[in-house]
């Protein structure tokens, strides 16, 4: 299981792409899926690389991203 997980609120996302550029592991990309406002929303293109650093959520101007991290005990079980 990857260390981190991001959940992007598709209705809030305005497709500005700042999270995509800010992610140090190139996890995020445009999904090609358009929301009701007509924006091309971001999604996790490579979820396996996510570390849960939350840089994407920090730079998101619309506070559309929630970040989850694997609990430390689960991390040991996985390793």
| Footprint of other proteins (CB under 8 A) | 1, 4-5, 7, 9, 11-12, 14-18, 21-22, 39, 52, 54-55, 57-63, 65-71, 74
Minimum distance between the CB of residue 67 and other proteins, rounded to whole angstroms? Answer: 4
Minimum distance between the CB of residue 6 and other proteins, rounded to whole angstroms? Answer: 9
CB 56 within 8 Å of CB 19: yes
Structure tokens at 4: 């981190």
Minimum distance between the CB of residue 46 and other proteins, rounded to whole angstroms? Answer: 17
Other CB atoms closer than 10 Å to residue 50's CB: what's the count?
Answer: 22
- In angstroms, the CA 25 to CA 50 distance is 7
């Amino acid at each position: 299981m990857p260390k981190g997980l991001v959940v992007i609120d598709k209705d809030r996302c305005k497709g500005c792409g700042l999270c995509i550029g800010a992610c140090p592991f190139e996890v995020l990309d445009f999904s090609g899926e358009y929301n009701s406002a007509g924006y091309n929303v971001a999604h996790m293109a490579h979820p396996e690389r996510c570390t849960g650093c939350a840089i994407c959520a920090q730079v998101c101007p619309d506070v559309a991203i929630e970040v989850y991290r694997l609990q430390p005990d689960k991390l040991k079980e996985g390793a």
